[in-house]
């Protein structure tokens, strides 16, 4: 069974801090790893990673994948209160016709002013 483990489960920081969120996975026939940000309701897509060692960047957020060690990190620099959310990591397999997304439990990030 596919497995995604995120750490830490929760994190409290002050505005301006840099945070690193971790995601490790075990999946049969890995296809891609995705990061989502979930505030009140809908998860919002952040990044999709398929290749090792290539950093994806969007503003203050960046992410990288290590397919050999089976993990990914999401970095947020100069955090703002608006970054407070649950950050979800999900992996997709390509087994048969399933193409399922398996989510981790998420990291609850709280950024205090």
Partner 1 sequence: DTEVTQTPKHLVMGMTNKKSLKCEQHMGHRAMYWYKQKAKKPPELMFVYSYEKLSINESVPSRFSPECPNSSLLNLHLHALQPEDSALYLCASSQFQGFAEAFFGQGTRLTVV
**Would you tell me how many other CB atoms lie within 10 Å of the CB of residue 72?**
26
The least distance separating partner 1 from the CB of residue 16, rounded to whole angstroms, comes to 27
3-state SS, 59-75, equals CCEEEEEECCCCEEEEE
The least distance separating partner 1 from the CB of residue 88, rounded to whole angstroms, comes to 6
DSSP type of residue 40: S
The interface with partner 1 within residues 46-65 (CB under 8 A) comprises: 48
Interacting residues with partner 1 (CB under 8 A): 31-32, 34, 36, 41-45, 48, 88, 90, 92, 94, 97-101, 103-106
């Amino acid at each position: 069974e596919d497995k995604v483990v995120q750490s830490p489960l929760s994190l409290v920081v002050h505005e301006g801090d840099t945070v690193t969120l971790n995601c490790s996975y075990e999946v049969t026939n890995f296809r891609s790893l995705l990061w989502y940000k979930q505030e009140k309701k809908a998860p919002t897509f952040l990044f999709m990673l398929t290749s090792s060692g290539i950093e994806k960047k969007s503003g203050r957020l960046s992410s990288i994948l290590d397919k050999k060690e089976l993990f990914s990190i999401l970095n947020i620099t100069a955090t703002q209160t608006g970054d407070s959310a649950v950050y979800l990591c999900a992996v997709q397999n390509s087994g048969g016709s399933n193409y399922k997304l398996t989510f981790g439990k998420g990291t609850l990030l709280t950024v205090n002013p």
